[in-house]
Each structure stands twice: as C-alpha cells, then as structure tokens.
Structure 1
C-alpha cells in the first residue's frame, strides 16, 4: 500500500508542477496584451505578481516533495525512536505535535518570504516583525493547548472504540462545526479588533438588507485588517447565535455604500441558496471518505514505514497523505463551488443592482491585483470561484467590448481556451 501512496504523491507532484508551468506561460503571454478589468498599470503588476507567486509555488512544490520523501524514508522512524512513551494517547500528542512543529519550521522560509518580501513588494503586506511574532505566539498557544487536546481525544477513540474511524469522524466533524461557531469570537479576543460600524447610515442599510432576506446576526462589525494586509474582503462569520457580518476596514474605505451592499448581497445569496449547509455536507462526505480510508490501512503500510500500528502512526499517516486525496477531489468540489458563485452573483445583483455588483467586483479586482485570466487547466484544479471574465459575462458586462483593443486579445487566446 505504501507504493500506491507514493505513486499517488508523485502524480500529485507532477500535476502540480505541470499546471504551474502552464499558468506561468499563459500569464506571461496574457500580461502583455491589452488590459481588461484592471487598470493598465495594475494589469501588468497583477500579471507579474501572479507569475512570481507561481514560480515560488513551483519551488515550494519541489521542496515539499523532498520533505515528503525524507519523512517516509527516515523521518517518521527517527521521530518514533526519539519519543519513547508507553501511554498511547500521550505518545500521539508528543509525536504529532513534534511532526507539525517540524513541518511548520521547514515551511517558515516560504511564509517569511511571501509575507515580508513578495507581498510587500506589491503593496499588500503591512505585517511587521513584531506583529508576526505576536500572531505566531498566539497561534502556537492555541495549537499546543486545543490541538493537543483534540489529538489526545482522537488517540483515545482509536485505542478504545471498535470501528474507531466512524467515531473519530463524528468527533472531528463536531469539532470543526464548533470551531466555525467560535471563530469570530476567537479572532475578536486574540487577533483582530472588532468594532461596531462608525458609519451609522451604512449600518442601517446593512441591517435593512439582512432583514430583507431573513438573515439573523449578532451584529455588523468592522475589523482592522489593514494592520496586516491591504486586500479588500468581507465575510459572514460564525454559526447560529454567533453569526456576524465582518467588513475589512479596507473594504469600507474603498467601496461606496451601494457597492458594499452588492458584495454583501452576493454573500447573502450563499445563505439564501443554502450553500453554507451544502458546503458543510460536502465537507462531511469528504471527511468521512478520508476516515474510511485511513481507518482501514493494512499492517504492511506501517511495517514499511517502520512504525507500530498505533494512534500516533495512524494520525501521522493521515496528516502526511490526506493532501493527496484532497488535491484530486478538489476539482469536483471547486466545480460545485463555481456553480454556487454564479447563483450568488445573480442573487446579489437582483438584491442591489448588476451595475453596483460589477463596479464592486472591478474595485476588488483592482485593489487586490487579481489577474483576470488563467490557463483552463489551472482553473480546473484550483479555482473555487469562476474566472472574473466569466463572472462579468454572466452579469451582462463584456470586458472585451469595454476596451475595444482587447478584442484582439480575446481572438488571440481562442486557441488556448478551446
């Protein structure tokens, strides 16, 4: 079975590399064509940013491949020999905590480069070393306390319950639901500063919009996201009584009231169409599949990894190999997600107006420097949202007609898309 997992990982690696190279070549060509959606200067800048991110991704993929091979070759065995503990749940906690911390340390150079070099170069990151250390410390405390408790619980389930993988799935699924409920509260207390909207006129308009679609929330808040990043965003956080509307201060600053209401209308479309429950259901099915696979692994797999078939080893194998399954399931999940995004756009445009939503998306694309074109294969594997060109087309806004010279680009790219 180890050979099957290794072959699957190699296939995952090759597809990752191939799609990234295709995307780099595509964007290199597209960025020198007449600009669409973005302003001329931002179009070129967004193209360059996309290319640099993909090149970094290619390097990171090669790096991860080496790390993966080291783990299955000697790493897991070495870590096992260093952690000599009799109690199964305690060994699982120590082993998995060490495994995750080592992986985080190994990935840290890429995180630091992205945050302090690449994103600062393109005007996104406002992160300071002090804030980065502060955020990292808080995240580490949360992981070591609550993550360790979850690992211990899963290990005890594996040790004591027959068909543990079913009960393990139920437990982890419940934990994820709980995390979604308390996420805004944790962000508020430990990371971000949530404040009631200072613009009372905007707050009144939002509350009216929420009442119109029957969305009950615990409030509308502004969050000081600009202390970390200049990108624009908004989200509905929490579940049940913890639901709240959260607007980035950058979004409030850049969008008009009507444009902001159109963005929220899109998000309310997800609520009204039941997408939140659908996504929870899809996540549950995928997770159940994962537990079914990793809960019935052969003894041979653990022997080849020089590990005992015990909770620590089962959880480690789950963490090591589950990204492969996720990657190959993502195209189907993303296809469903893209369909839902079109429906949410339609709902939001009807709730406010198509012109307001189009203008909001134009501003979001320009401020976030989102390059509007991608290779079809890259879209297939990685896009949970439809390409901007297609979203605008569904809203009745032809980005090529707005810039007549861009029609040549549309014709030039026909062979790439078809």
Structure 2
C-alpha cells in the first residue's frame, strides 16, 4: 500500500514536470514568431517571464517531491520522537502537525523570495521592499500559527470523539472555507492592504447601477493600495451577504478607462448573477469530501508499513501531503466548469455595458494581457491542467472581436488575467 501511495505521488510529479517542460518548449519557439496582442518586444518579454516562472515551478515541484519522500520515510517519525514526552494528547497532536506545517512553510520561503525579488523585479512587477516582504511574511506566519493550531485542535477533538470522524471533519473544514471567503476582505484590509472608499462619485454611481441591475448588495466600493507591492491589475469581490465588498486595485483605476473598468466589473457581477461563487465553493467541497473519505478509510497496513500508529496527527499530515495531488487531478474538471462560467460572465458583462459593452470588455482584456505581461499563447496540455480561464483569443472571438490570428499549430491561446 505504501508503494502505491508513493507511486501515485511520483506519477503526479512526473506529469506536472512534463506539462511544464512542454509549456517551456512551446513558449520558447512561439515567442520569436509573429506577436499576438502585444508588441514584438512585449511579446518576447512576456514569453521570457512565463518561461522563468515555469522553470522555478519545476524546481519547486522537484523539491516538494524530495520533501514528500523525506516526510514519508523519516520525517513524521522524527517529529513524533521530538514531542513524545508531551503528556497532553491534544497539545502533542497540535505540536506535531504544526511542526510539519512550519517546516514546509520555511522550505517554501526561498521560492517565494526568488519569485518576487528576482523574477518579478526583473520584469517590473515587484514594487515591494524587502522590509515589506518580511513584515507580510511574519504576519502570514503568525496568522497561520494561530488559526492552524485552532483547526488542528478542532479536528483532533472530532477524530477522538466521533466514529465517522472523516465526515464531521470534512464539514468542519468546509465551514472554515466558507468563513474564510466571508472574512477575506476584512482580514486583508486589517493586515495587508489599506482600503479607502471610492471617492469618484460618478464612477461610484455607475458601479452601483451595475450592482442594482444584478441584485448585488455590497457594503461598499473600495480602493486598495496594491501598487505598493505589485504593478499588476486586478479587482475582486469578497464576502457573503452584507459583508460583500467590491475592491479595486489602484493599478486598475490607473490603467483602464471608466468604461473598460465598468466592463470588468460587469464581468465579475456576471459571476455573481450566475451563482458562480457558490458553484466554485461546491466544487472545493466535493474535492475535500473525496479527500477526507479516502484518508478516513485507509487500511491499517499502510501505517504499519510506515512504522507509525494510526494517530490523528499522522492522518492529518498525510491529508496535507496528498492535497496537491488531488487538486492536480481535480483541476481539469474545475477548469472545464470555470471556462464555461467565464464565457457566460463575459456575455453578462458585455450586456450590462450597453451597445458598446462587448468592445469595452474586449479592450479591457487586451490591456490586462499587456499590463500583466501575460503571454497570450500556451500549450493545450498546460491549459488542460492549469487554467481556469478560456483562451483570451477565444474570449475575444465570442465578444465579436477578431484579431486575425490563425493558429497554424493547432494550439490555443490563454490569458492569465483574473477576470
């Protein structure tokens, strides 16, 4: 059984790295051909940026694999030995699981630093100082430590008091996922970004008109000072019920015209009108349910092969170790659903914008590709496993905008813009 588990993880790593290698090869060939949506220099620059990030992803995946083997082989036993003198079983489980989380977090820090201060700095995205990054990292670490310990304690209590612990644990974690979605804008404003109400009364009035048209009730429209960290454009809606907020990055206000901005918001409101937020949460819930059902019914022989007892902390660590595998398997399914939702949201966004709505949304998509340096073409295997948004060229065609691109290789385009 242990060899089967390791084999599944090895296959996941092999497919993930192969997909990245195919993407790198495709981009390296395509970036020197006729540019699409971008100028020749920006097209080459976007290609180089995508390749740099993909190379880092390969190294990260390989390191994660080595770390996985280390945990399965000796890591869990070493942590268990480190805290075996703790008499309180709840505290022992919290210490071991959080020890696992902290070690993995520390291992990930060099990759986070390299991406931000080497790759993003080189390509003009990073606006954050090292001091700001350290502050953000420490805040994230403390929040992870506090909230993570509470979650581990909750699951421990469920596992030691319920026969069908995996079902109740799933419901517990699913409730936390919903709670995070409700509180995300508030937490982000408290610890990371400074939010201020939108002062442009005319724009605020237009945004509220769009919200009224779709029945979206919000606690307000806010501007985030995201430019102090990053030059990319973005916006998000967060929360449920009366906690919902519309948050615009200041970079988005700077680069898009008012009509283009309203088209982007119209697209996001399209997601709300179609219930896409709830669909996505349901998909995440389905993935969590499968994960807990699988690991709640693993045979005792697996633990015996690992030289471990079936303690709550062992089960929790195994769950976290294999979460990326199930996520990778589920991604194509979630991608198919999400791409359909994006087309529908585009349609709603263009309709909300009136006669010129489709053109304004198309112009916004083009600017997002340009400003975010998104390489607009991609290998189909990479899209299948990684992307939730349809190819930007296909989105433009659906909006009635033909840029004259002919896909001679039969490979599709993609867009990294989060709208």
2:384 to 357, 380, 383: 380
Secondary structure of 2:74 counterpart: helix
- Write out aligned runs for 1:383-394 (5 A): 383-394=387-398
For 1:121 and 1:127, how far apart are their aligned partners in 2? 13
Equivalent residue, structure 1, for 2:400: 396
Displacement, 1:213? 1.3
Distance 2:89 2:229 in 1: 40
How many Å separate the matches in 2 of 1:215 and 1:232?
Answer: 23
Q: Could you tell me which residue of structure 2 aligns to residue 3 of structure 1?
A: 3
Which of the residues 346, 358, 364 maps onto 2:362?
358
Matched, 1:78 2:82: no
Q: Is the 8 A contact 1:221 1:245 kept in 2?
A: yes
Give the aligned partner of residue 267 of structure 1: 268
In structure 2, the partner of 1:311 is: 312
Q: Give the stretch that moved more between structures: 45-54 or 389-398.
A: 389-398
CA distance in 1, matches of 2:110, 2:141: 17
Offset from partner CA, 1:61-86 (integer Å, 9 cap, x none): 22111111111111111111111123
C-alpha separation between the residues in 2 aligned to 1:249 and 1:329? 34
Partner of 2:91: 90
CA shift in 2, pair 1:301/1:87, >3 Å:
farther
Paired residue for 1:67? 67
Q: Note the C-alpha offset of 1:149.
A: 0.7
**Does structure 2 conserve the Cα–Cα contact (< 8 Å) formed by 1:88 and 1:310?**
no
228-237 vs 101-110, which deviates more?
Answer: 101-110
Cα shift at 1:198: 2.1
The alignment partner of 1:235 has SS state of: strand
2: CA distance, partners of 1:135 / 1:55: 25
Instruction: Give the 3 Å change call, closer, same or farther, for CA 127–197 of structure 1 in structure 2.
Output: same
Per-residue deviation at 1:306?
2.2
Show the counterpart of 2:21: 21
Note the alpha carbon deviations across 1:338-360, whole angstroms, 9 max, x for none: 11111111111111111000000
Question: Given that residues 287 and 326 in structure 2 are in contact (C-alpha distance below 8 angstroms), is that contact kept between their aligned partners in structure 1?
Answer: no
> What is residue 277 of structure 2 aligned with on the other side?
276
Alignment of 1:209-288 (within 5 A): 209-288=210-289
Shift of 1:290: 0.9
Map Cα deviations across residues 154-201 of structure 1 (whole Å, 9 max, x no partner). 011001111011111111111111111111111111111010012221
Report how far residue 302 of structure 1 moved.
1.5
Cα displacement (A) at 1:121:
0.3
Where in structure 2 are the equivalents of 1:89-238 lying within 5 Å?
89-238=90-239
**CA shift at 1:305, angstroms?**
2.0
Contact kept in structure 2, 1:235 and 1:246, CA below 8 Å: yes
Using the TM superposition, give the Cα deviation of residue 39 of structure 1 relative to its aligned residue in structure 2, in angstroms: 2.4
Contact 2:263 2:361 in 1 (8 A): yes
Would you say the 8 A contact 1:88–1:311 is kept in 2? no
- Per-residue CA deviation, residues 213-235 of structure 1 (Å, 9 max, x unaligned), is 11000000000001110000001
Check conservation: 2:223, 2:250, Cα contact below 8 A.
Answer: yes
Cα offsets for 1:77-124 (capped at 9, x unmatched): 111111112333211210111101111111211111101010000001
Whether the aligned pair in 2 keeps the contact of 1:88 and 1:159 (CA below 8 Å) is: no
Could you say which residue in structure 1 is the equivalent of 2:416? none
CA–CA distance in 2 between the matches of 1:9 and 1:170?
26
Moved over 4 A (4+): none
Partner of residue 33, structure 2? 33
Structure 2: distance between partners of 1:392 and 1:91: 55
Query: What does residue 333 of structure 1 align with?
Result: 334
Q: Measure, in 1, the Cα distance between the counterparts of 2:168 and 2:89.
A: 18
Q: Could you say which residue in structure 2 is the equivalent of 1:367?
A: 371
CA deviation vs aligned residue, 1:285-317 (integer Å, no higher than 9, x gap): 111111111111111112222222111111011
Q: Structure 2: how far apart are the matches of 1:342 and 1:300? A: 48
When structure 1 is superposed on structure 2, of 35-44 and 339-348 the one drifting more is 35-44
- Structure-1 residue corresponding to 2:415: none
- Give the TM-score of the pair, scaled to structure 2: 0.95
